[in-house]
Amino acid sequence: MDSAALEELKSAVGPQGWTDDAERIAPQLVEWRGAWSGTTPLMLMPGSTDQVAAAVRVCAKHGLAITPQGGNTGLVGGQIPQGEVLLSLKRMRAVRAVLPLEDVMVVEAGLTLREAQETAAAADRMFPLSLAAEGTATIGGVISTNAGGTAVLRYGVTRDLVLGLEAVLADGSVFQGLKRLRKDNTGYDLKQLLIGAEGTLGIVTAAALKLFPVMRSRATALVGVTTVHAALELLAIAKAETGGGVEAFELMNRQGLDLVLAHIPDTREPLESRPPWTILIELVSGEPGAAERGLERLLERTLEAGLIVDAAVAQTQAQAAQFWRLREDMSAAQKAAGGGWKHDVSLPLSEIADFIAQTDAALAAACPGIRLVTFGHLGDGNLHYNVVPPEGADSGAFAARRDEGARVVHDAVAARDGSISAEHGLGVLKSAEAQRYKDPVQVAAMRSVRAALDPRRIMNPRVLF
């Protein structure tokens, strides 16, 4: 990189806003699973939107590519630079406003998701986006990837929770869209282009987020079923009987749960019957005690009907947290078991059971001995459909066959009108592959939008189309 450009970048963000110290940068160049690693000549850490804009203007002037990074919790490599300038938003952590009357808070992009949740709770409100990495994932990161999480069934994905955005575009101009309005029918909703764009159209610096009332009762249970069809029938009944009170409906297969029990300390078998499929269901209500009563009625009815085979209801918050840990540590358990092929897919609900059965059979035939770990947000059709190598297999050789396995899985998803990325984004991992499945007209339209906003393609250049 030209030394003059480097000096301009350093000046743009001030003495606290940059580092070229290799040891300090190193943790930001490796994805948490070790699947991706990268390089950068300089890490920028701006402390304000003005500094972000100044840095981007320098990059635009010199044609320097930028990789934006939030909490570095992404799973598809989009946050790891390969020689680009690394721009971290972690210093931009301010809470600009909390407005309980409006059910809105305005926060900067570097605030972690957990800090955002805590900020809302301090105002007797709830910010419902929740995922396993919420302690490190940042608001800017979850907006840029349109993260989903465990409460999508009730509250929607990230784009449903954003009222307004502030962002720096590729020329260094500031997109002033930080409105708190529920209705604004004055043309294109440009903020929606930035949500889920993975940093390719601009760098999100702040957001106005929707808040919700705190639920006064919450009930959590683990429920055993013998088939995915039964799980889907249980979901339909739960939604109908609770009038929208189902906040989470998480699926775990037997093999995935066994890996958690084997590799994650202080976990134990939750259901004596050891069913082939376990559902984590969580009901909520604004009325004290209503969620508990609703869950009891639901379990009694479905157990008597033979739809479910076993159930355990959390009696305390600590026990509910133990139930959730079984679900949230699925990824960590797979890493301990040798890693594998990870797929983040979504399907129409009516297609899920047949997809699992048929794709399981196809993969087992192609790779005897594999361990299939299927889990995820069944309530909104999002499966983490993962393939762990056979016990004792060479994990490196198995990883090298990832594209072969992905083709089987993604062809099956596309045949059922699904998506090869539900909530993780495309990143570097899937950007090229997605063109096989994406409508060419949509790809062309996205390229046109990108070319209009970033003609030199300096914003996260290896990601998307």
What's the CA gap between 210 and 182, in Å, rounded?
A: 9
What's the CA gap between 41 and 25, in Å, rounded?
A: 10
What's the CA gap between 462 and 198, in Å, rounded?
A: 11
Please spell the DSSP secondary structure of 243-265, one letter per residue: TS-EEEEEEEEHHHHHHHHHHST
Structure token pair of residue 311: 């159930």
Task: Give me the residue label for tokens 């600009």.
Answer: 96
Rg (CA), the chain: 23
Task: Give me the residue label for tokens 């350093």.
Answer: 10
DSSP state of 111: S
Tell me how crowded residue 316 is: count the other CB atoms within 10 A of its CB.
9
Which residues sit opposite 164 in a β-bridge?
208
What's the CA gap between 263 and 336, in Å, rounded?
A: 6
pLDDT, position 392: 86
Closest CA to 465 of 174, 412, 439, 189: 439
Write out 400-463 in H/E/C secondary structure. Answer: CCHHHHHHHHHHHHHHCCCECECCCCCHHHHHHHHCCCCCHHHHHHHHHHHHHHCCCCCECCCC
Structure token pair of residue 163: 């009222």
Closest CA to 431 of 447, 418, 415: 447
Q: What is the dihedral of CA 250, 405, 337, 398, to 10 degrees?
A: -170
Instruction: List phi, psi (to 5°) of 369.
Output: 90, -5
Structure token pair of residue 136: 């490190």
Strands (E), 60-197: 66-69, 85-88, 95-99, 104-108, 125-126, 162-168, 174-177
Are 69 and 79 in contact by the 8 Å Cβ rule? The answer is yes
Which residues sit opposite 252 in a β-bridge?
278, 375
Are 58 and 458 in contact by the 8 Å Cβ rule? The answer is no
Closest CA to 408 of 340, 462, 360: 360
What's the CA gap between 193 and 438, in Å, rounded?
A: 17
Burial of 415 (0-12, 13-18, 19+ CB in 10 A): exposed
What's the CA gap between 281 and 379, in Å, rounded?
A: 10
pLDDT along the chain (465 residues), means of 10: 88 96 94 86 97 98 96 91 96 98 98 98 97 93 95 96 98 97 95 97 98 97 98 97 94 96 94 97 96 96 96 96 94 85 95 97 93 95 94 86 92 97 92 94 96 97 94
What's the CA gap between 201 and 26, in Å, rounded?
A: 26
Half-sphere exposure of 414 (CA within 13 A, CB side): 14
